[in-house]
Structure 1
Amino acid sequence: MQQVGINVNLAPVVDVQTATPPLLASRTFGTDGNSVATYAGAFLNGLQKNNVIGCLKHFPGLGSLTSADDPHDTLPVVSSSMDTLQKYDLAPYKKLIATQKPAMIMSTDVVTTAIDPDLPAELSPKAIDGVLRKQLGYNGVVITDGLYMGGLSRWGLAESAVLSIIAGNDLIEGPYTSSQVAEVVQAFKDAIQNGRLTEKRIDESLQRILLMKMQYGIIKA
């Protein structure tokens, strides 16, 4: 990746596979939190010690979803209890945040009812600010999953982008044409003007992004 000038890898997947048939069978490291953390941690370490930014995903977890619950097409719901989430889905994050300091974590398009029964995780302050930041102690960069995916169609791309930043994400994935980029930029401007987004909130993300870029040599202080 370094040889071809790529400085970010949106991996590893740390979803803990507990469903049958699983949604991400070929992309998961195991069926329990410890083994997933062990193998994903080795993968992450291999990236980051060689100055490539790694990214744990898909927070707060897609491992309990079956192949019929693809977020690209629909908005899946995980109804696991908080105890189950702590034992499986959140376990790799808890361990790897403490031991490996992942540069980035990706939030995703899933309603996890024990955390927030109303909003998908990547649009939910309860998930990003409440669980990931406060409970798990993560202070690195959070990036969204694809905001163009079918699960978020009811909100639309521009509104999803605004809600994701309000929720605590720092980077967004989604707009991939010039018109979509312009639409999202205008939505951000409107949200700042009408008070939904504050400059303070934007500056928090900017600081995290710049610190990550300095840490990995993308920019110099």
Structure 2
Amino acid sequence: MDIPERPLPRLEDLSLDQKIAQMLLIGFRGTELTDENPIIRDLRDYQVGGVILFDYDVVMKTYGRNVTSPDQLRNLMQQLYSHTKFPTFFSIDQEGGTVNRLRPEYGFPATRSHKTLGQLDDLEETRREGEHIARLLQSYGLNLNFAPCVDLGINKDNKAIYGRDRTFSDDADQVTAHARAYIKGHKAGGVLTALKHFPGHGSSLADTHLGMADVTQTWSPREVIPYERLIGEGLCDMVMTTHIFNGQLDPNVPATLSASVMQGMLRTQMGFDGVIISDDLQMQAITNYFGLDNVVELALLAGVDILAFGNNLAYEPDVVERSIHIVRRLLEDGTIDELRINASVRRILRLKEKLVSGV
């Protein structure tokens, strides 16, 4: 499809609300858009920074949330783009295999899981698969894939990661090598990537979608080796956090909400100055323990750049407006200052330059 060109704004030309909205990535319901759909308001009035698509609606327990066929998806994406003013992250989880929103049963080509690629252990094959997935996404105007998953396949009883074939291997060197190839394939296909789930979900037993996952006794530093290496090589567009609780790293809050993990470990120790995006903040590992006000405050204080609300595990059509009001209140009472907002927006705009100039 033809993707309309949008000018990249300068930081100083954005209003406060627009800057805050750049720090939000939102899911929505609908296979086509009507004027009443909240995502139109979020794009038109706030210029929200990113949108995520799903094929399954968790709350409604039905398929066909945003994707039913190639023609339908193309029309939906054209509608979404028509309401944008600035370059926007249009994102999806298309790891391959099980985690696959554009499924063969909808008319899209088949893709292979990380586990399958790891077992083949052919790096050129992994690169080709990465490019195959990226070109598929790019042909529909999707420009950000929340992949590769660089969790190590440590716990074979982990249903969220290992049980869904989402890990290349339990060996950090092999995971790094395949993630590198997968990312290079995406670059060739013109799509941004995000390493996930920092600082490691592979040793957990519980699923953060459903509640708290504590890896204090099982996590090891080797789980961050893929991040260290790929960041050092300049291959990391974005890092997605995980909501696991890891008492080794922070005894008080999950990783997403931890300044020790996000600023101390990821920013300072690893030298990452790219975009940090949260995993979905409506997962029960977060919502069972924190209200929206607390989540927004703690995530910003931790150093997260983009707050993700999939509106799938819970449906909150006004979450953009509410989040903007919360951030405004945090600014007014001095909990954070505008320099903190500006730092995140600069990183976001710097990454969006690639959407304009080429990934």
TM-score, normalization by structure 1: 0.91
Q: Does 1:110 align with 2:249?
A: no
1:85 aligns with one of 196, 220, 229: 220
Q: Deviation of residue 53 (structure 1)?
A: 0.8
Contact 1:107 1:145 in 2 (8 A): yes
Write the distance in 2 (CA, Å) between the matches of 1:45 and 1:168: 27
Is residue 178 from structure 1 mapped to residue 317 from structure 2 by the alignment? yes
> 2:283 aligns to what?
149
Q: List aligned pairs for 1:39-50, cutoff 5 A.
A: 39-50=178-189
| Pairing 1:22-61 to 2, within 5 Å after superposition | 22-23=158-159, 24-25=161-162, 26-61=165-200
CA-to-aligned-CA distance 1:31-63 (integer Å, 9 cap, x gap): 011111111111111112332110000001000
**Partner of residue 12 from structure 1, selected from 148, 153, 165:** 148
2:209 is aligned, of 51, 61, 72, to: 72
Q: Secondary structure at the match of 2:276?
A: strand
* Pairs aligned (count): 214
Q: Which runs of 5+ in 2 are unaligned?
A: 1-136
TM-score, length basis structure 2: 0.57
Deviation at 1:215, TM superposition (A): 2.5
SS of equivalent to 2:279: strand
Which whole-Å CA distance do the structure 1 matches of 2:144 and 2:260 have between them? 27
Cα deviation, residue 162, structure 1: 2.3
For residues 64-122 of structure 1, what are the alpha-carbon distances to aligned partners after superposition, in whole Å with 9 as ceiling and x for unaligned? 012xx0101111111148xx6322x1111111111242110001111111111111111
What do residues 144-188 of structure 1 show as CA deviations (whole Å, max 9, x unaligned)? 001011011211233212211211111111163332222211111
CA distance in 2, matches of 1:54, 1:209: 14
Contact 1:58 1:107 in 2 (8 A): yes
Using the alignment, how far apart are the partners of 1:215 and 1:14 within structure 2?
Answer: 23
Structure 1 residue 139 corresponds to structure 2 residue 276: no
Larger Rg: 2
Aligned match for 2:351, one of 200, 209, 212:
212
